[in-house]
Structure 1
Amino acid sequence: MPSDAKILIVDDHEDTLYALESALAPLGYRLGRATSGDEALKQVLRGQVGLLLLDVRMPGVSGLDVVRYMRRLEQTQHIPVVLLTGFGPDHELTSAAFALGVADLLMKPIDPWALRTKVRYLFDTHRRHLALEHEVRELRALVKDHTEDKDHTEDRGHEGQDHDEDDDAAARHRALPHPDARVPVQRINGAHTGELEQDRT
């Protein structure tokens, strides 16, 4: 998640947007707003959103439609979403929302303290999760580079060892006399072997 990631508040009513922004302002996070599902998706796809507060019922693309689309894309499928509804408890909506993996479903009017608590937890947890994933990717890259360097060094070592063995074999071959070479006359106590034979006779 980029360091300048924002919490995106999505609602088609201006007064609701203002109320939610006022409730979240004390957290000090960067806030963004959208007044439709289409506009929300455009901002999410730009990669600057770390959490969505999303109204369920909006003209055109609904909040559930936005979540369905986000969950199909790898780059957006793990962004936490809090759905907001002003129509009271709805079992069918609740089931559909949690089946899509939303973090929570809140009823309007929203309690500011409860909203800040949930948002702080979800936003910070998601940020830590992404930081951990980044560290894991870096460690895997380092391990891969180290393994490749080690394999390359071992290959060069084997090649050098093979070369040394070839040199040793060639040296031994040079040290052996040719089969057709004459054996030199041996001297024993200063006399040729032929002289010793004559003395014995």
Structure 2
Amino acid sequence: MPDAKILIVDDHEDTLYALESALAPLGYLLGRATNGDEALKQVLRGQVGLLLLDVRMPGVSGLDVVRYMRRVEQTQHIPVVLLTGFGPDHELTAAAFGLGVADLVMKPIDPWALRTKVRYLYDSHRRHLALEQEIRELRALVKGQGDAAEPAPSSALPHPDARVPVQRTPEAHDGELEQDLT
């Protein structure tokens, strides 16, 4: 997912602009949506590596977007940072973290803190996806070797549970010969 974007979702144009300005120094590809429906469409099209999502929007709320994303395999692991301007709310916090959001950030947002969180979450998600891809490739490679019609080479290592016969040293053999001769 080399060209995955960070999708910023808010129903206020000035907030979208402020968030884009705060994240621009990171150099990541940024996308925007002004409502939950538009956000879901973009997420389902793919290429979203992180979602910054306003909680309270007309129509489909940020929590609704997250609920839907968590039910769809292709989107359930995309990190989400929820944004709210309504101050601390214990019910919102419980619901958000219950859905597996990465963080819940209060507006106004500290640009330095936001950049740090976004860089960490986005890069971690990309590394996770790269490791999953590598695992798939290795499994395919191993499966391909297991399906080969050629017999295993004779120099193949024994199974780890196989018993190895006890090796006797030459001194032990000499001692046994002497005992047998006497």
Work out whether the TM-score is over 0.5: yes
For 1:138, the aligned partner's letter is E
Identity %: 87
For residues 97-135 of structure 1, give each alpha carbon's deviation from its aligned partner in whole angstroms, at most 9, with x where no partner exists. 000000000000000000000000000000000000000
- Hey, what does 1:92 align to over in structure 2? 91
- Quick one: higher RCO (CA 8 Å, sep 6+), 1 or 2? 2
1:22, 1:76 → 2: CA distance? 26
**Structure 2: runs of 5+ lacking an equivalent:** 152-182
Instruction: Report the alpha carbon displacement of residue 26 of structure 1 after superposing the two structures with TM.
Output: 0.2
TM-score (norm 2): 0.82
Q: Which residue of 2 aligns with 1:68?
A: 67
Show CA shifts across 1:39-73 (max 9, x none). Answer: 00000001010000000000000000000000000
3-state SS of the aligned residue for 2:150?
helix
Write the mapping of 1:173-192 to structure 2, written as runs, cut at 5 A.
none
What's the TM-score, normalizing by structure 1?
0.75
Separation in structure 2 between the aligned mates of residue 42 and residue 61 of structure 1, nearest angstrom: 12
- Letter of the 2:24 counterpart: A
Q: What secondary structure sits across from 1:105 in the alignment?
A: strand
- Corresponding position of 1:172: none
Q: 1: CA distance between counterparts of 2:97 and 2:118?
A: 17
Q: Number of residue pairs matched?
A: 152
Could you tell me how far apart the structure 2 residues matched to 1:62 and 1:153 are? 58
Opposite residue 17 of structure 1, the aligned amino acid is: L
Q: Which residue of 1 aligns with 2:82?
A: 83
Separation of aligned partners in 2, 1:105 and 1:82: 6
RMSD between aligned alpha carbons?
1.0
Amino acid at match of 1:47: G
Amino acid at match of 2:134: E
Which contiguous aligned blocks of 4+ residues in structure 1 show a shift greater than 3 angstroms? none
User: Partner residue of 1:34?
Assistant: 33
The reply on whether 1:153 has 2:147 as its aligned counterpart is no
Cα distance in 1 between the residues matched to 2:27 and 2:3? 12
**Secondary structure, aligned partner of 1:8:** strand
Letter of the 2:121 counterpart: L
Deviation at residue 4 of structure 1 after TM alignment: 1.0
More helix by share: 1
Displacement, 1:3? 1.3
Q: Is 2:109 the partner of 1:103?
A: no
